[in-house]
Amino acid sequence: MRHRKNNIRLGRKNTHRVATLRSLAIAVLTKESIRTTRTKAKEAKSFIDNLITMAKSNTPESKREVFALAREKGIINLLFNEVAPRFKTRNGGYTRVIPLSPRRGDGSPMAILELVEKKPVAPKKLKKKETAKKELKPGIKKEGKDKTKPEEEPKEIKEEPQRDQRIAPAPKADVKEEIAKEKAKKEEKKIKKGGFLKNIRRYFRGKTP
């Protein structure tokens, strides 16, 4: 009979159930936010709240009790020095469960289990160059040698002629002679052809009655 036993077994034996809750609690305290099923998140929520309430007293006895449940030495310093001091003014409800859409595949409902008050984020440190620029006021320069180089005069750019306007190079002397010889040969051939035809015409004209 399960009279006055409201704990969910999670389909595990007692030792396996405590081990899963312990691992979930360590993950939440180190990462401050995890994603798990909704039933596990609800069971781990009460387990983590008990650890934080014990750590708020900050006595040797409470450290022994926390170690008996967590079974990890590294988590004790984190819990007593960083996590517990954030919740001094809070009497309970150190964690929250945010429901999510069901998981693809088996359709089990999911949730996010996280601490209510997270670790404050430290501001980013500026580099030396950025801090020096901010310290200087606009219009005021540093004392010392001016490392600025004198302005160079712009070089004259020669305008190249466009492709259509470019002038062809003059032919060489040898090329000129070859061209003239070819032209002379062509003219001689034309003259010879004309003379031969004239002689044939005369021959045929003489024989006609």
Q: Tell me: do 187 and 99 sit in the same domain.
A: no
Q: What is the largest CA-CA distance in the chain?
A: 156
Residues 107 and 187 in one domain: no
pLDDT confidence of residue 83: 93
pLDDT (tens digit per residue) in 124-173:
665 666 666 666 555 555 555 555 555 666 666 666 555 555 555 655 56
Q: How far apart are CA 191 and CA 174, in angstroms?
A: 26
Domain shared by 104 and 191, yes or no: no
DSSP E strands, 63-198: 95-99, 110-115
CA distance 111 to 40: 9
CATH number at residue 61: 3.90.1030.10
Looking at 69, 89, 115, which one is the last position of a domain?
Answer: 115
Q: Do the domain assignments include residue 41?
A: yes
Classify residue 92: in a domain, yes or no: yes
Measure the CA–CA gap between 28 and 47, rounded to whole angstroms: 11
Q: Domain check: are 85 and 19 in the same one?
A: yes
What single DSSP character describes residue 164? T
Residues 107 and 33 in one domain: yes
The domain of 187 spans 170-209
Number of domains in the chain: 2
User: How many CB atoms sit inside 10 A of residue 27's CB?
Assistant: 15
Q: Could you tell me if residue 105 is inside a domain?
A: yes
| Predicted model pTM | 0.56
Distance (Å, whole) CA 85 – CA 166 = 85
Most confident of 3-12, 62-71, 133-142: 62-71
Mark which of 89, 115, 141 sits at the end of a domain: 115
pLDDT digits (tens, 9 = 90+) for 94-124: 999 999 999 999 999 999 999 999 887 767 6
Q: Is residue 4 part of a domain?
A: no
Whether 111 contacts 100, CB under 8 Å:
yes
Q: Is residue 154 part of a domain?
A: no
Answer yes or no: is 24 within a domain.
yes
In 3D space, the residue among 140, 21, 42, 142 whose CA is nearest the CA of residue 98 turns out to be 42
Whether 38 and 107 share a structural domain: yes
State pLDDT tens for residues 27-65. Answer: 999 999 999 999 999 999 999 999 999 999 999 999 999
Residue 74 lies in a domain: yes
Q: How confident is the model at residue 209 (pLDDT cuts 50, 70, 90)?
A: very low
3-state secondary structure of 113: strand
